[in-house]
Amino acid sequence: MSYVDEIYAQVAKKNEHEPEFLQAVKEVLESLKPVIEQNEETYRKAGLLERMVEPERIISFRVPWVDDAGNVQVNRGYRVQFNSAIGPYKGGLRLHPSVNQSILKFLGFEQVFKNSLTGLPIGGGKGGSDFDPKGKSDREVMAFCQSFMTELYRHIGADCDVPAGDIGVGGREIGYLYGQYKRITGLYEGVLTGKGLTYGGSLARKEATGYGLIYILDEMLKNAGKELAGKTVVISGSGNVAIYACEKAQEHGAKVIALSDSNGYIVDPEGIQLDLVKEIKEVKRGRIKEYADAVASASYHEGKGIWSVPCDIALPCATQNELNLEDAQCLKKNGCFAVAEGANMPSTLDATNYFVSEGILYMPAKAANAGGVATSALEMSQNSERQSWTFAEVDAKLKDIMVNIYHKTADAAKRCGHEGNFVVGANVAGFEKVADAMLAQGIC
Ligand code: NDP
Ligand code: 2IT
């Protein structure tokens, strides 16, 4: 049995109740086969893959808080510190009722390779809780965040582990978390990213994941002799990533016609009015349905089904496994020729394989959405030098990073004999730096 197959069999046995984690590991290991085979002896001797698939540390803790009715609520909090070979653990915190160890391990594992691809010195981690911020008052969210940080603070730090936002964690939550960290430790340091602009946040971090997605999409299209202007785009989700992907796609002259949330999706053939979406989602914390109530040209459709809306380009920006093989086939049948993933692992493995085998221009998550964490690393740099850069400076660096990621990914794919397969390219390019650093640092 090959080294890769052996390791996957071990991982599958050891983590049999963690389907999302197994899915992420399987995709990466399959892609790495060509490079692992070339160096199999060295990697085996160093137990490289065995170490890579095991988080350095998982912290799990009780998060008690009191709701507005005076009742005690208890959630489970986590931080998965996956790999620190190339820098301090870095990755978001997710607050969603579905959060469990499998989901956070898959996200932490992906983050290791994504962070490596950015070219910046950041290791991989992820955390969160099964707390559901939906329908909670600001005071309840604050009580939860303060309790969560009261445990987490002892495990993180500006040079050790730097959390940020993810699903359910935006500026409000980062503010409450930061305030509590500072209160307990007495340190005013860059321990979180995605901070507000008045207390150490970076300009363009809020926009970075969505903008970065469009920068790499644009580069992928250009290299295929195509362009974004005039194309019809469907984007799933209507949160941080979806909103700023929509904004930048529109700036490039694309027509975004659909957005969604976990209840359903809207279609506006006239093109999405983004100011209204921002008002509904960022200010009122409402449902996407309200858009169709307010706009005559728009329709609302309950449930899944956004991938049945005909488009040239699809940008899944909501959550994992939101796009399956049937959806992928439907997209292709309707003429979709490019897919770039704003969300983490939004496509199931068979959908991913379908995109690749059908020759769709397909940029997988760990390359496509790396702009968020890359800009977080830029926030860390600004905090370290106690400076803040202008929006234009940060945005220019972000663009550069995304264009670089495209070329690293495309080059690695070609080098492995899989030209145009950006899944192989992103996994191999992300792997190489982490592998070298791990080998250099000995068995740890
Ligand atoms: P937000 O919480 O801002 O928005 C999430 C969006 O996805 C909402 O519209 C939400 O709908 C929808 N959604 C969430 N869970 C589900 C679900 N189970 N089924 C259907 N829809 C769902 O999160 P972000 O925009 O920050 O994150 C979106 C994706 O992007 C995630 O996969 C995240 O890991 C990834 N990502 C985020 C980065 C960042 O910087 N924020 C960086 C890189 C990747 P509803 O409101 O109804 O729940
Ligand atoms: O999935 C991701 O890359 C994020 N949620 C952003 C992580 C970060 O540290 O900015």
Give residues (CB < 6 A) around ligand 2. Answer: 90-92, 111, 164, 166, 193, 344, 372-373, 376
Distance of alpha carbon 317 from alpha carbon 55, whole angstroms: 26
Check pocket membership of 347 for ligand 1, CB cut-off 6 A: no
Task: Report how far ligand 2's centroid is from the alpha carbon of 114 (Å).
Answer: 9
pLDDT for 1 equals 87
Q: What percent of the chain has pLDDT over 70?
A: 100
| Coil/strand/helix, residue 14 | helix
Mean of all residue pLDDT scores within the chain: 98
Q: What is the mean pLDDT of the segment spanning 18-40? A: 97
Q: What is the pLDDT of residues 334-358, one digit of tens each?
A: 999 999 999 999 999 999 999 999 9
Task: Report how far ligand 2's centroid is from the alpha carbon of 347 (Å).
Answer: 18
Task: Indicate the pTM of the whole model.
Answer: 0.98
Q: What is the mean pLDDT of the segment spanning 10-23? A: 98
Q: Which atom of ligand 1 is nearest to the CA of 164?
A: 40
- The yes-or-no verdict on residue 375 having pLDDT over 90 is yes
Task: Report how far ligand 1's centroid is from the alpha carbon of 316 (Å).
Answer: 10
Residue 195 DSSP class:
-
Q: What is the mean pLDDT of the segment spanning 116-121? A: 98
Q: Which atom of ligand 1 is nearest to the CA of 369?
A: 43
- The yes-or-no verdict on residue 160 having pLDDT over 90 is yes
Confidence of residue 228 (pLDDT cuts 50, 70, 90): very high
pLDDT for 125 equals 98
Distance of alpha carbon 4 from alpha carbon 27, whole angstroms: 11
pLDDT for 244 equals 99
Distance of alpha carbon 88 from alpha carbon 229, whole angstroms: 39
Confidence of residue 64 (pLDDT cuts 50, 70, 90): very high
Kind of pairing, strands 123-129 and 72-83? antiparallel
33-62 burial, b at 16+ Cβ within 10 Å, e below that, comes to bebbeeeeeebeebebbeebbbbbebbebe
Catalytic residue among 90, 114, 126, 231: 126
Asked if 126 and 366 count as a contact pair (C-beta separation under 8 A), the reply is: no
126 belongs to the catalytic site: yes
Q: What is the pLDDT of residues 290-332, one digit of tens each?
A: 999 999 999 999 999 999 999 999 999 999 999 999 999 999 9
Asked if 112 and 430 count as a contact pair (C-beta separation under 8 A), the reply is: yes
Check pocket membership of 239 for ligand 1, CB cut-off 6 A: yes
Q: How far is CA 90 from the centre of its chain?
A: 12
User: Cα separations (Å) of 278 from 86, 286, 291?
Assistant: 37, 10, 10
Q: What is the mean pLDDT of the segment spanning 363-386? A: 98
Q: What is the mean pLDDT of the segment spanning 400-413? A: 98
